[in-house]
Amino acid sequence: MQVKKPHVHRDVIIAWACGAQIECKYHKTDRWVPLGQVTAPPFHPNFEYRIASPWQKEKDAFDRGERVEYRHGSMWLPVTGKHFFDFDEYEFRIAPIQPAKNFAEQYGTLTLTMGGKTYKLVEDK
């Protein structure tokens, strides 16, 4: 008896049958698109499929090199590796763009001592 090789997308097909959201990679744009409420996805062997994660948007942003943060208590901290997405207790977000701080806000007031005199360095406005 010959053992039949499982379908290349076996795990995704089973997840879809159980109600999971499935995405397909659109090769023209190299982006993942949700299959939506398709009656029966084709699961073509030459296409790429994946089970969509509730944090897929944040995972993709991290893969593109964008800053992604996770909530730890009341603080948002930077995600430093893909393994963070394996923890169910975290909430993720794409970090908001922060306006650039001026020198004094970023570094505080600087002082310079020369010849026994102290000078306060202040940024011009």
Find where tokens 């007031």 sit: 109
Q: What is the pLDDT of residue 92?
A: 94
pTM, to two decimals:
0.52
Exposed (0-12), middle (13-18) or buried (19+): which is 6, by Cβ within 10 Å? exposed
Q: pLDDT tens string for the chain (125 positions)?
A: 688 888 888 998 898 888 888 888 877 777 888 887 666 788 888 888 988 888 888 998 999 999 999 998 888 999 999 888 888 788 999 998 876 666 566 666 677 787 888 877 665 55
Q: What is the pLDDT of residue 69?
A: 93
